[in-house]
Amino acid sequence: MTEPNTQPWDLDWPRALGGAAIRADFRTEPEDFVVDELAAPERATASGEGEHVLIQIKKRGANTGFVAQQLAQLAGVQSKDVGYYGLKDRHAVTTQWFSVWLAQKPEPEWQRVNSDEISVLQHYRGLRKLRRGDHLGNRFQIRLRNVQGDRVKADEVLAQMPGGVPNYFGEQRFGHHGGNLDLVNRLVADQQAGKRGRVPRNQKAFAMSAARSWLFNQVLASRVRQGNWLEALSGEPEPQGSGPLWGRGRNLASDVQLALEEAAMAPWKPWCDWLEHCGLSQERRALLLVPQGFQATWEGDDLTLNFALPPGTFATAVLRELAELANLSASTIK
């Protein structure tokens, strides 16, 4: 295999709105990163209906998997019987929904999971398990502290934010120091050597997701560098500009767009082949991410941003257009 990368992984994708204008401290406290799900899960209407219980949780300093585990233990069910719309950050204050399939089991006292980290806000019976990405999106309130740099330029970038930013996958998709990408390299090398490497299913899923995200970011980065990421190129298969989420099947792009995508992914052909062997089908993802209801408020040396994003997108894609961030959560919570 021709190694397509050098370590460490370069996750500093090109910016489109003029470059990072400021530096700031990020996630100094969990309250600096507030996330609320935009969701209203369907409620069972008739008495006795609904084998699932839908529970809205507010959490601080706890990850989604931990909360799901606590709910499963309290209800006496398996972890696979707990559903949620998506993973939420640990070093944050987040509000999200969970579903617990009880079938005919008695319903426990959900308030028993309350702690310094977890609070039950409400619960009711529902008809179905919650699935990843089935909610409307997430609303963010993010406080950047100790801002330094060019505020005039920062305000110019902020004024462009409502029009959208490049829809990059965030660094968290690639694991700590790119660990998920290292795993992809090992799995691809095993495939090329004819080895049947065994990894846990969840780790392979992380690797597949990271590989697809990396390839998409390569295509988007190429278009940002060329200054045509907002243009409708000849051969665009979607109503709006898009890039590939790689898998089996023919690339739906053609003409100019197909040539650009093939050039951007050419150094990563072994990864493309591996994803095809994994059985994933090709999909497309929008190049443009538009934050809804965008607001920015200066308070002394701090800047607070409010906006909403659709499922599967990253607040860090918005933040990185504006600022170089010192993530202070890295020293306290991993």
Under 8 Å between Cβ of 310 and 182: no
Query: Is 89 part of the annotated catalytic residue set?
Result: yes
User: What is the amino acid identity at position 286?
Assistant: A
Structure tokens belonging to residue 26: 């990020």
Point out the catalytic residue in the list 25, 32, 81, 89. Answer: 89
**CA 26 to each of CA 19, 145, 235, 246, 323: distance values in angstroms, whole numbers, following the listed order:** 18, 7, 40, 32, 10
Under 8 Å between Cβ of 276 and 245: no
- The DSSP-derived string for 213-280 is HHHHHHHHHHHHHHT-TTS--TT--SSS-EEEE--BS--S--HHHHHHHHHHHGGGHHHHHHHHHHTP
Q: 181 — alpha (psi -120 to 50), left (phi > 0) or beta?
A: alpha
**Residues involved in catalysis:** 89
